[in-house]
Structure formats: structure tokens, C-alpha cells
Structure 1
Amino acid sequence: MDRFASMQAYVKVVELGSFSAAARQLRLSPAMVTRHVSQLEDKVGARLLNRTTRHLSTTAAGQSYFERCLSILAAIDDAEAEAGKVTQSARGTLRITAPAEFGDTHLSRLISRFLDLHPDVDMFLEFSNRQVDLVQDGFDLALRVARTLDGSLIGRRLARSHFRVVAGPDYIERHGEPETPEDLTRHVFLAFSVPSPWVNLAFECDGNRVEIRLQPRILSTSAETLNRLALNGSGIAVLPTFVCGGDIAAGRLVTLLPNHDAGALNLHVLYPHKRFLPARTRLFVDYLVETLGSDPDRDPWCKSGG
């Protein structure tokens, strides 16, 4: 059997903790995956995995061999990536997951140009707000937008997106403009509802922190829906610039409390392993950095950049 294919099968079994899960991702039968691992054990003369009916784990030798396999596979992929740089091409299917609002509004446009540059790359896209396990779900990379991120995840920060307090001009004309965060309690508020309702807001101004609690009239799982409601004059919303920045720039939304900092989200690109990345994945990460700018503290959806 192909030693390279056997190493790939073994790595996938360890990552997923299951022969059947590895078989599904590799599009092989469980029996074939088992044969690959057994061949490696015969070759090295040591048991690599402890198997029970309910649990699978690496032996001491198996863990060391797993790490070496990662290095070997990464070295092979590095060679392919270098060749890809020479030919300016990449191949295969790139599986990407991203938040629905960011994917629909921004990532889809970025993807179109990337596919033009790399005609041999196909894509599978999942735009949703569910938390995806990259390894278990078989994704090459994920875009995540969050205030903070689990430090165990591998990737890099690409940009920042600041929160803005916004409303449509007709709403301001009918209800007036709040001058302080406390004034928001007297207005119709539109709030995001996941992972829990955004009813507690914090602002900073001139070194002072102000916290308020609001009673939203409308709760939604969709930031895009809240943005449309604000455009229609239904109330005031606190939205990230990657959602509302274009409407602010066009004058369709008004920024309220401009001297009060409502915080920011960070845009990250995440991938399963730091080194073991297909050339198509590396090229797409480089493309995102190039497109969004090399400064991860910059807000590319804000005209002032901050």
C-alpha cells in the first residue's frame, strides 16, 4: 500500500478519534482505513493506537509517530506549495465556513476574484452562525468574527470591525437624536439575540465607562435584518461596521453617539494546523490579507479606518 496514503489515513484517524469518521472524510471504506493503519503498525513494529469499542487513543509511540507524520505531510505540502507559487496555480476543493452576515455581504465578492485568479480551485461554502469544528466537519478554514477568541485555535487576525450606534434619518427626524448612552433607554432599540439578547451595553468616552441596560422592541438572530430595520426607520441598532459601514458612508444611516466607543469585533481566519495547509488554503489566506490590508488593527469597513 502507498505509505503516504497510509500516513494520511492515520493522521485523520487520530484527529477525528474514529476510523469511521476518517473513512467518511477520506471517502474510503472503514476496512480500508483499518488496513492502512495496520500496515503502518506492521512497518514500525509497534502498536500506534489503543482501541476499545468506545474509545480510541494514541500510544506513546503512536503520538510520536503522529507528530512525525504531520511534519512529513507538511513538508510534502510545502514542496507542492512552492511548485504552486512557481506556476501561480492551485488545485482542489477549498471548504470554507463563515458567519452568515460576513459571508453573504463580503466574502462572496472576495471569492469571485480569487476563483478568477485560480481557475483550478473549487469551493464549498457554508455561511451560518453555528460554531463549526474544523476537523470534525472537514473544513479547510473558517472566518470568525468575535470580541475574543479561544487561544487554542490556530490562525491569524485579519482586521477589526467597530460597533456603531445607528438609525435611519427619518427615525431621527421623528424621535430626536440621543445625546448620551442613557438617552437610548427612551428609544426603540433593535438588538441581536445570540448567543443571548444584547440588552447590556457598555460605552467608553474620555476614559469613563458607562453601562446601560435596554429593553429591545425587536430581537433578531440576523444582523442584516437589524440593519434593514434601522434603514426603514424602525429603531436604533448597535451594529458592526462590516454590516452597516456601507450605509453609513452612503448617508442612509446616521452614526449616533460618535464620541462614545461601543467596542469592536476582530475578524480571524482559522485553520486546523499551522503547517499542514494545502497550497489552495495558504493562497486564500494570503489573498485575504492582501485584500483586507496587512494591518490587523485597521477597520476596512470604516471610512476613517478606526
Structure 2
Amino acid sequence: MDNRSGEMQVFVKVVETGSFSATAPLLNLSPSAVSKVVSRIEERLGVQLFKRSTRHLALTAEGREYHDSCVRILQDIEEAEQRASQRSAQIRGMLRVNVSLPFGQHYLVPALAEFSRLYPDITVDISLTDAKIELQRDEVDVAVRMGPLHDVSYRARNLGRSRMAVVAAPSYLEQHGTPQVPSDLAGHRCLGFNFRRATGEWPFLVDGRLTHLAVGGGMLTNNGETMRQLTLQGLGISRVGLFHVYDDIQRGDLVELLPAFNAGDLEEINLIFLNQRHMPPRIRAFIDFAVDRLAPLLARSLP
């Protein structure tokens, strides 16, 4: 990892003290470590920063110029951190968040304790639902939604993508057998969604070609978390976002089926918010926090 600001701090302290040995205890380093830092800077820059003698160090012309730049940069860093700290203390107000059930329960809600510690003056009003919403009409500041975005009045920050997976509980497979090829699903209970946009077909790659296979025979539901629960109870086979059942698969509570035939289609996961010129600090803080904390977790959903 690049730590040039840390090297700059060592260099500036050497200039202040006039020696490696005097600098070392101030930074909890050995004199040789301090010397190596300065040598590393000189090698990278291709210039000599100090005129060395047995008794003292003296800056070269390049060293004085570099020192002035380092002091200015380190001051800018300190001021930036102070401004950020003061700003976070001033961020307050009501933040209304709407999240789909699976993502809310398994990702966002567990992260809210940390967000609350960072921004104690923000009151989070969170609703979990898979129903379609309109941000302005429903007075929502930020929403997390799956799939493609169609409303140009919204802005979005992408949290990640998740491939889809066909899964079942071991108890179901013990009773009904494990499908070996997609056509075997015709003899199984396949759970589905009752959304208006939902279809009764699942895509598979068969002999290198994309094929949509009609499935059915199981229950229907209107949200992903209920789908997960039905699947865990052994009531049928479902096709859901891997992000939703990743931990279940790792624990052995669910088994991924037909991975060799997976169509590779991905589900986008986005933060959406109104396209406004001046975004309130509380909304910006939440968006940045969510991307920073949750995007790495969703990256697991693409293996």
C-alpha cells in the first residue's frame, strides 16, 4: 500500500530534529528505519535530499523544495480530516430509507448499528418491502432496489451485482431427489414469485445455448425473504439472487443446483435517490457509508 504521507512525516521530522537518531524515538522507529525511509524517498524521486556528514544533515536545494511541499501537503491532510470530523458531528436530521426485504434483513439492518455510532444525530426511518415505490410520492430519501433502472428522474449508486442461483434444502432433495439436468425440474415443485413482471420460466445454458424452461408446481410469494424461508423449510426449489442465500449455502442449509447450466444472468443492486442539485449531507453520508460497507459483502455473490 502506498504510504507517501507517512514517509513525508518522517522526512519533515528529520528536518526538524536535524538527525536520524533524534527522530527515531519520536516516531517509535529505529535510526536505521528512519534512514531507510529517507533513502527510499530519494531513490523514488531520483534526487539527494540531504548532504550527509558525520556530524549533521543539511538540506540540498531539492530537499528544501521537497520539504516545503511536504509541509503544505501534511497541513492539507490535517485540515481535511478536521473538516470531515466537524462535518460528521453536524450531520443530523431524519433519513427515510426503503429497502427490499432480503437485502434489508441480511445486509443493511445489521450495518445500522455502526452507522448510528458514526452519525448519532441522524434518525433513520427504515422500511422493508419489495413493493414498488416512488421516492418523491412516498417521501423516501434513499432506496435499495434490484434489477435495471428505468426512471430517469432518479440517480443511482451501484452496490454490486449478484448472479442468480437455483437452490433447495437438503431435506427436499432427500425426499424428492436431486435434478441432474434442467429438464428434470419438470418433476419437481418449483417455487415462484407472483409479481406482475414475474414469468414462469427459468433460463439455463444447455449445450451452449440459452434455453428458458417452464417451471411450476410449488407455491408463489411476493418477496424474496418468504421465498428463502419456504425453500429452507423444504417446500420446493427456488431461483433467487446468490447474495440472498450465500450464507445459507455456506452453512449447508441450502444446496445450489445445476451450477453447470447456470445462465450467468446478473441482478443489479442499486441505491437510488432523487436527482437533486444539492444533496443533503445526511443522504450523502448514508450513501457513502452503504457503498463502503456493503459493496465488499456483495462481491461474494459473483463466484
TM-score normalised by the shorter chain: which range applies? Answer: 0.5 to 0.7
> How many angstroms apart in 2 are the aligned matches of 1:125 and 1:181?
39
Q: Secondary structure at 2:274's aligned position in 1?
A: coil
Maintained 8 Å contact 2:191/2:216:
no
Give the letter for the 2:124 counterpart: M
In the other structure, the counterpart of 2:220 is 219
> How many angstroms apart in 1 are the aligned matches of 2:175 and 2:138?
49
Q: Secondary structure at 2:228's aligned position in 1?
A: helix
Q: How many residues align?
A: 219
Correspondence 1:286 to 2:288: yes
In the other structure, the counterpart of 1:271 is 273
In the other structure, the counterpart of 1:130 is 131
> How many angstroms apart in 2 are the aligned matches of 1:207 and 1:137?
45
Question: Residues 104 and 86 of structure 1: is their aligned pair in 2 closer, same or farther, counting only changes over 3 Å?
Answer: same
Give the letter for the 1:254 counterpart: V
% identical equivalent positions: 30
Tell me the alpha carbon deviations over residues 74-118 of structure 1, each in whole angstroms, 9 at most, x when there is no partner.
Answer: xxxxxxxx9555443321111111112222232111222101111
In the other structure, the counterpart of 2:55 is none
Pairwise mapping of residues 25-174 of structure 1 onto structure 2 (< 5 A)? 86-89=86-89, 90-146=91-147, 148-150=148-150, 152=152, 153-174=154-175
Q: Secondary structure at 2:136's aligned position in 1?
A: helix
> How many angstroms apart in 2 are the aligned matches of 1:197 and 1:137?
24
Using the size of structure 1 for normalisation, the TM-score is 0.66
Q: Secondary structure at 1:173's aligned position in 2?
A: helix
Report the CA distance between 1:214 and its aligned residue. Answer: 1.4
Question: Residues 224 and 207 of structure 1: is their aligned pair in 2 closer, same or farther, counting only changes over 3 Å?
Answer: same
In the other structure, the counterpart of 1:261 is 262
Report the CA distance between 1:242 and its aligned residue. Answer: 2.7
> How many angstroms apart in 1 are the aligned matches of 2:170 and 2:221?
22
> How many angstroms apart in 1 are the aligned matches of 2:151 and 2:245?
29
Q: Secondary structure at 1:119's aligned position in 2?
A: coil
Give 1 or 2 for the bigger CA radius of gyration: 2
In the other structure, the counterpart of 1:51 is none
| Range with bigger deviation, 102-111 or 116-125 | 102-111
Structure 2: give runs of 5+ residues left out of the alignment: 1-81
In the other structure, the counterpart of 2:193 is 192
Structure 1: give runs of 5+ residues left out of the alignment: 1-81
Maintained 8 Å contact 2:164/2:239:
yes
Q: Secondary structure at 1:286's aligned position in 2?
A: helix
- Once superposed, what is the RMSD of the aligned Cα atoms? 2.2
Q: Secondary structure at 1:136's aligned position in 2?
A: coil
Give the letter for the 1:269 counterpart: L
